[in-house]
Amino acid sequence: MIRFVHLSDIHLGLRSAFLNDPAKQQQRRKDIEDSFADVINYCLEVNNNIDGVLFTGDLFDKHNPDEHTLNFARAQIRRLIRSSKVVFHIPGNHDSYHYGNSIYKRDDFGGIDLVTSPDMRRKRSIELNGEKVHVYGMAFTFQSQSPFDEFQKEDLPGYHIAMLHGSISGLPEWGLLSREVPLDKEKLFETGFHYIALGHYHQPAFFERNGVHIAYAGSLEPIQFGDEGERAVTVVQLENGTVQVLQEMKGYNRRHFMQLTVNLEKEQISSREQLVNYLKQYADPRLLLRVQLEGEIPFVLIPSQLHAQLADEFFYIKVIDKTTIYNENLLSSLRNERTVRGIFVRKLEEKMKQAENSKQKELIEQAFKLGLMRFVSSDRIR
């Protein structure tokens, strides 16, 4: 029996663009390092019987990582090498090989089998536990040419494993991430490889047909919104000419992401206090939450105030306001005021009636919201 751990999209040295707090930026980097170290520990645990590791790209978040990140990665990978684990590695798109100052042109990390070929070819054949394994790979560069999914295995006895960092069409992430290496799942099945190890998509995905297994291991830690669900280690088990793809060490991730849509009308939320209490039911210091609020509401919503009230309940929270303030109870109490605010409401309502299309209406409503926020910044409306 042979057992490989398939890892991908670790993104060491990550900088999350949406995190403005330097301390939380640093914590996210540490989260990823800690999860990576945990998985290396798993690989080295004797009872887990791991023979090697397949890295399918984006070990680093950029092609020239900082010294701290580089030293951390070297130390972890050398633990594998010193323990006689075979390590196959292909660069991704974040840590691409085609840059002149790519780290992979300056460091072999203590003896990994690094794939640098711009097209798919056999990197190495090895014997493990009395069985032959042939590992193929491709490192995308500007010299790489499509199609990328019509490669063939050589006529050699044993297991054949291919490693690619690319995008299968038709999956949810197809429209979200770069598509430099487009892949067709049907063509991959036709290659006849025992296992096709993929990177690039952060959500794990597994496919099998007639003994051909295709797998995205997914990122160790969720990296961005859309990377949801608990993480697990993907283990490829080769035995008696067959392949099993297993998910082990489930739920080790330090953080998790969630996207939530709340319709305030349907949930009968009629005040800011009710909304805060509703969102507190999801409170979790490990959670990064993005919540979109929809529906007609009878109060003026100020997202910055919500953030301030809920910041300590989550690792991160972002409120997206898609509500409409065209609630008759609210507007009737404002339009009759003999104040500047009343004049503002009456003028904006008139402009709304004159709007020629939905885009104009949307712009006027946005102006309405922003204006009312200014009026109520120190005077809450109920």
Summarised one tens digit per residue, pLDDT across range 275-289 is 999 999 999 999 999
**Does 62 score more than 90 pLDDT?**
yes
Q: Per-residue confidence at 379, pLDDT binned at 50, 70, 90?
A: very low
Domains of the chain, earliest start first:
2-248 (3.60.21.10), 256-376 (no CATH)
As a whole number, mean pLDDT of residues 75-87 equals 96
Whether residue 366 is predicted with pLDDT greater than 80 in this model: the reply is no
The arithmetic mean of pLDDT across residues 222-251, rounded, is 94
pLDDT above 80 (res 382): no
Region class of 375: left (phi > 0), else alpha (psi between -120 and 50), else beta:
alpha
Q: Specify the pLDDT at position 60.
A: 97
- What tens digit of pLDDT does each residue of 247-274 get? 999 999 999 999 999 999 899 998 889 9
Name the region of 273 (left: φ>0; alpha: ψ -120 to 50; beta: rest).
Answer: alpha
Q: Answer yes or no: is pLDDT of 380 > 50.
A: no
Residue 16 · residue 66 · CB < 8 Å? no
Tens-place pLDDT, residues 6-38: 999 999 999 998 999 999 999 999 999 999 999
The DSSP code for 243 is: E
Mean pLDDT of 65-77: 96
* pLDDT over 60 (residue 377): no
Q: Is the pLDDT of residue 299 over 80?
A: no
Average pLDDT for 351-372 = 80
Q: What does the pLDDT average to over 330-354?
A: 83
102-123 pLDDT, tens digit per residue, is 999 988 888 899 999 999 999 9
Across 129-232, the runs of DSSP E, i.e. the strands, are 131-137, 159-165, 167-168, 182-183, 195-199, 205-209, 212-216
How many Cβ atoms sit within 10 Å of the Cβ of residue 66?
13
Percent of the chain with pLDDT over 90: 70
Distance CA 139, CA 95 (A): 10
- Averaged pLDDT of the chain: 91
CB 226 within 8 A of CB 203: yes
* Percentage with pLDDT > 70 across the chain: 95
Q: Which residues on adjacent β-strands are paired with residue 317?
A: 289
State residue 328's pLDDT score. Answer: 66
Q: How far apart are the first and last CA of the chain?
A: 68
pLDDT 10s digits, 118-137: 999 999 999 999 999 999 99
In this prediction, residue 381 carries a pLDDT of 42
pLDDT for the residue 373: 67
Band of pLDDT at residue 89, cut at 50, 70 and 90: very high
pLDDT at 95: 94
Looking at residue 327, what is its pLDDT?
A: 61
